[in-house]
Amino acid sequence: MTTPKPDIPTTVTPTSASNLSLEDQDFYKEPEFNTVAPMDPTNGVVPSPTAETAKLGIKPEPKVDVAAAPVAATTNGKAQETPITPKAESVITTALTPASAVPTSPTTITPATTTVATTTVDPTAVPAVTAAIAAAVHSTDDVDMTFAPGTPIEELSLVVEESIQDDSDPDEDFSEDELRENGAASEEARQSRQARDKIEGLEMRNSILANNLEEVLLEKQRIEGEFGRSVGFSQDLHRQLVETQQKLVKRERDYEVMSKNYLEHVRLIRATDDDHSTIIDRLTQLKASIEHLVRKAQGSRSVNLDKEAVIEHFKNSGLLEGFPIAADKLEAFHLNLYMESVIMSTLVTRFFGKALSCIFSFNEGFKDIYDWMHSRNEKLAVRWRQQLCVMITQDPATKLRQEEEVTAAATELSELMSKVYTNANELAKLKDLCNKAFELSVAMTAFESVISPETVALGTAFDEENMGTSLKSNPEGKVALVIFPSFVDKERAFNIRSKVWCY
């Protein structure tokens, strides 16, 4: 298919080249066109201009037949306009303006079979050609711009080229395969970046873990060192424990030997196995037995009490003279308290008041010898006294002598009780009291510090710490009668309170 040539007179030439400016002379130079189109190396076919344009992503523009453009022609010296008719498949065959003056796309379109004729244009027709090109450019859909009349061709070309470059989509310059390849490449690049980021994160975590591992290792070394020291301490403690256990076993054996020797030693110097606590219990029981004996002897409401016999004995003892109550005003409880004091005074005289009890026939000489030894060597004197007590208790004749003394003391008290209390027979009870007194006397004498009775002076103010009150006694009065004396040792480590009646 051949494109019809434009009806441009070929005889139109400038009258003289010297009449044109340098710019116009450059404009009217004959362009050199490459009439041989490059062939596609893949299939050897000359590409079509429209196909090349579509390949590069440039929208096809409607072809304008330059020959149909209103070109001012000179006929017989007059300019004449020729109308332009656009054709869809037309190809430009006229001489084109230089590249600097005509807007072109990035790709130069060269038809395969088009021949270009050299045309001489009258300078006076340049404005008309410019206007025709501007109208053709303005008529396209891709470029939306207007130009003022008389716009220079260079400015027009520059504006059109910039507009085409701005409107072109970068993605339209590539084919679908290239776009897919680019997309795949970008995906690979994205995945590569992600992988690098993960690697960097893992390396950072690895570095942190390495630091933590180093710290843990240091802590482990420290703990292992402490554990080693603890093991050493534990071994030392275990060794000390074994040694201590061995020493403890040895000392237990030594203690058993010492305990055995001590008991043997105690048997040599102590007549009984009593201590202070047992002595206190035995004295308390003795006092309670005396109170019970008197209450039983006096009978119900003291109907069997012979007041005259009691008052007579009271006067003979010499205690009634200093008593705060007159004889005719004495009540039954006063006389009963007096009888308790009489029984206890007999026990003190016959048993507690003698150095080595009543059965020791050398009591008078014992006190003189003991005082002489005590002034020269107290420990030896105490040891001698204790050994004498042991000899008395182990002597076979002691039981016979003890029975004789107990019977004599109990008979004396029984005769008195039978006079004071009518039809009273308390000999058995009295013998029991005398036996208790004898045994207590020997036990208290065998202590390192002798425990002995200590009477309270009459008329002394009542002392709650060292005294105990009796029936109807005034706690704020003075001592009028001592019913049970106090028992103390030399160091006052042992003390049994006395029982008194105050008025």
Average pLDDT for 79-107: 42
Angle ∠(207,208,213) on CA atoms, nearest 5:
95
The residues pairing with 467 across neighbouring beta strands, listed in sequence order, are 498
Which pTM was predicted? 0.51
Using a pLDDT cut of 70, give the percent of the chain over it: 63
Is 163 in contact with 145 (CB distance < 8 Å)?
Answer: yes
Give 372-383 pLDDT, tens digit per residue. Answer: 999 999 999 988
pLDDT score for 253: 92
pLDDT score for 413: 93
Strand 467-469 relative to strand 498-502, pairing: parallel
Phi, psi at residue 76, to the nearest 5°?
60, 40
pLDDT score for 53: 46
Place of tokens 């009291």: 433
Judge residue 406's burial from the number of C-beta atoms within 10 Å of its C-beta, 0-12 exposed, 13-18 middle, 19 or more buried: buried
How is residue 390 written in tokens? 């042991």
pLDDT of residue 414 exceeding 80, the answer is yes
Q: Report CA torsion sign: 114, 120, 125, 127.
A: positive
Instruction: For residues 162 and 160, give the distance between their C-alpha atoms in angstroms, rounded to a whole number.
Output: 6
pLDDT of residue 435 exceeding 50, the answer is yes
pLDDT score for 91: 39
Average pLDDT for 274-281: 90
Instruction: For residues 291 and 389, give the distance between their C-alpha atoms in angstroms, rounded to a whole number.
Output: 30
Give 238-273 pLDDT, tens digit per residue. Answer: 999 999 999 999 999 999 999 888 877 777 777 787
Give 187-214 pLDDT, tens digit per residue. Answer: 888 899 999 999 999 999 999 999 999 9
Average pLDDT for 304-326: 89
pLDDT score for 281: 93
pLDDT score for 155: 56
pLDDT score for 475: 87
Is 58 in contact with 51 (CB distance < 8 Å)?
Answer: no
Single out the residue of 36, 197, 33, 29 nearest to residue 101, CA to CA: 29
pLDDT score for 117: 44
Instruction: For residues 72 and 70, give the distance between their C-alpha atoms in angstroms, rounded to a whole number.
Output: 6
pLDDT score for 51: 47
Is 491 in contact with 462 (CB distance < 8 Å)?
Answer: no
What's the gap between Cα 338 and its chain centre?
A: 76
Instruction: For residues 312 and 320, give the distance between their C-alpha atoms in angstroms, rounded to a whole number.
Output: 9
pLDDT of residue 95 exceeding 50, the answer is no
With cut-offs at 50, 70 and 90, classify the pLDDT of residue 129: low
